[in-house]
Amino acid sequence: MARLVIVSNRVTIGGKKGQAPGGLATALKDVLTPETIWFGWSGRRTEQSGRLTQHNSDGAQIIAMDLSEEDYKKFYIGFANRTLWPLMHYRPGLLQFDRSDYDGYLKVNHRFADALMSILQPDDIVWVHDYHFIPLAACLRQRNFAGRIGFYLHIPFAPPALFAVLPPGRALLSALCEYDHVGFQTEADLHHFRSCVRDILNYSINKDGVIFGPNRPCISSAIPVGIDTEGFAHMAAEAEHQAEAERLRESMGSKALILGVDRLDYSKGLPQRFSAYGRLLEKHPEHRQQVSLLQIAPKSRDDVKEYRDIKRQLDQLVGQINGQHADFDWVPLRYITRDMPRMVLAGFHRIARVGLVTPLRDGMNLVAKEFVAAQDPNDPGVLVLSRFAGAAAELQDALLINPFDPDEIADALHVALTMSLSERQARWRRMYETIRRNTASAWAQTCLQAATGSRRLTISPASRYHWQTDQRLEAQNEETTWPVRPAV
């Protein structure tokens, strides 16, 4: 029987904090079985790359590889996070390119391919996640793996004018076309990818978006990632009565809570968010003493200089805003750089009056969906959301803002804080209905269906994926002229 082999940079080992691949583990929950293999980096930096360890986790068999300090620096810190991450987040000014980092990136992809070849069976389905592993399908094809391989990009795809900046852009684009399916978060990302393939590689693309490169047809589609909406809603309803949420509520008194939850990353727009909050207190002084912003932003990638810089900048801004506005009985801005358990966060979302999600650019942003899922239907909070988050395409009933404009964010905060209950309920209901349909489970099933060319993967009617690309995928499968492998 065909097994599913998932590849991602981070894997969860023994549920250890810090190892968890964030939203990915949750999103994959429903497709993991005890036969599923999940392959990734162990999170350990050792003298030599390549040592493999095996672990049992709740849903799957985890196989993890150690990386040497040098590989970690070139592959992860260098090419993945100093070159690809800023480029794909539309920040060419922060991009640094070094040929030896790119060589290190390729080397780790080849190492992963070697290790995978030792465990892969011919009919396994390989599902590769994110920008760390763009060349992996090509590496596996070089080693004669002929099974189905799908890819999902969790971050945005840059438009052609920006993508052209990337020195090995051509090689990476053609590597992407070695997958049977490549999935993107939004129609805009998909459009950018196809435009790059057309303009840079001159490959033909048919009306259904199937790309015909020299080796194989590659299906490309937009399949936005979702969350376990009902599960998160139940967790939030329960967490609201737990100690942490009670303590937060007590500390707030009658003040309204504005909540921000992000990894500490320059793509999340935190300096602009803090400035916007300062502007709110200046422009709308009636909110002074009546609100408090709680920002939870655990440090991430602090081996990368740009991440240490943003941390310093935020520390200063918090000091400035509290210095200017605080009173002896009121701290306007509370800022935490520690990780928090998911359940505690769910409870905080539920008691927040406003969810403030303002990335300058984001593939999707699951926090926006989690905020909506967590709300009390009788008294829901308002989501203020960047129009440059992938989630904005689905969450049109949020107050959509330009995250580069602190005044616009401040005005939206004012609207959110003064919005009538009936309007809050109407907006929330429409958003909840959308995320209740487009769940994590439906996302995973649709991606796997597309990668396998199969229409026989069972999808329960409740989790059937409601998005226009679904029909198009079905149509592609019917019109496909190349041999379709047996369905799993």
Active site residues per annotation: 154, 362
Q: Considering only residues 178, 362, 394, 411, which one is a binding residue for ligand ADQ as defined by CB under 6 A?
A: 362
Query: What does residue 441 show for φ and ψ, rounded to 5 degrees?
Result: -65, -45
Is 261 a residue that touches ligand ADQ (CB under 6 A)? yes
User: Looking at the chain, how many residues does it have?
Assistant: 488
Is 370 a residue that touches ligand ADQ (CB under 6 A)? yes
Q: Considering only residues 180, 262, 394, 411, which one is a binding residue for ligand ADQ as defined by CB under 6 A?
A: 262
The identity of residue 211, as a single letter, is: I
**In this structure, what DSSP letter does residue 164 have?**
T
Q: Provide the minimum distance between the beta carbon of 204 and ligand ADQ in the complex, in angstroms, as a whole number.
A: 30
Q: Provide the minimum distance between the beta carbon of 271 and ligand ADQ in the complex, in angstroms, as a whole number.
A: 17
Q: Provide the minimum distance between the beta carbon of 30 and ligand ADQ in the complex, in angstroms, as a whole number.
A: 15
CA neighbor of 367 nearest in space, from 400, 335, 336, 390: 390
Is 463 a residue that touches ligand ADQ (CB under 6 A)? no
Q: Considering only residues 51, 263, 299, 334, which one is a binding residue for ligand ADQ as defined by CB under 6 A?
A: 263
Is 377 a residue that touches ligand ADQ (CB under 6 A)? no
Q: Provide the minimum distance between the beta carbon of 367 and ligand ADQ in the complex, in angstroms, as a whole number.
A: 4
Calpha distance 196→211 (Å, rounded): 12
Is 367 a residue that touches ligand ADQ (CB under 6 A)? yes
| C-beta closer to ligand ADQ: residue 95 or 419 | 95
Phi-psi region of 123 (alpha: psi -120 to 50; beta: other; left: phi over 0): alpha
Is 345 a residue that touches ligand ADQ (CB under 6 A)? yes
- What the block records as the tokens of 96 is 């640094």
Element (H, E) at 444: helix 440-452
| C-beta closer to ligand ADQ: residue 3 or 29 | 29
**In this structure, what DSSP letter does residue 330 have?**
B
Task: Using CB atoms within 10 Å of the CB of residue 253, give its burial: 0 to 12 exposed, 13 to 18 middle, 19+ buried.
Answer: exposed
Calpha distance 6→28 (Å, rounded): 9
Binding mask 135-154 for ligand ADQ (x = CB under 6 A): -------------------x
| C-beta closer to ligand ADQ: residue 10 or 279 | 10
Q: Provide the minimum distance between the beta carbon of 268 and ligand ADQ in the complex, in angstroms, as a whole number.
A: 8
Q: Which residues contact 353 (CB under 8 A, 6 or more apart)?
A: 256, 257, 258, 291, 381, 382, 416, 417
Binding mask 290-329 for ligand ADQ (x = CB under 6 A): ------xxx-------------------------------
Task: Using CB atoms within 10 Å of the CB of residue 45, give its burial: 0 to 12 exposed, 13 to 18 middle, 19+ buried.
Answer: middle
Q: Considering only residues 2, 4, 12, 23, which one is a binding residue for ligand ADQ as defined by CB under 6 A?
A: 23
| Interacting residues with ligand ADQ between 216 and 235 (CB under 6 A) | 225
Calpha distance 372→428 (Å, rounded): 7
- Can you spell out the DSSP letters for 451-466? HHT-S-S---GGG---
Question: End-to-end CA distance of the chain, in Å?
Answer: 8
| C-beta closer to ligand ADQ: residue 174 or 445 | 445
Using the rule CB under 6 A, give the single segment among 118-126, 260-268, 373-381, 466-474 that binds ligand ADQ: 260-268
Using the rule CB under 6 A, give the single segment among 30-38, 113-121, 337-345, 480-488 that binds ligand ADQ: 337-345
Give the orientation angle of helix 342-351 with respect to helix 366-374, to 10 degrees: 60
Q: Provide the minimum distance between the beta carbon of 229 and ligand ADQ in the complex, in angstroms, as a whole number.
A: 12
| C-beta closer to ligand ADQ: residue 278 or 363 | 363
- The residues of the shown chain that bind ligand ADQ, judged by CB under 6 A, are 22-23, 154-155, 225, 261-263, 296-298, 339-340, 345, 362-367, 370
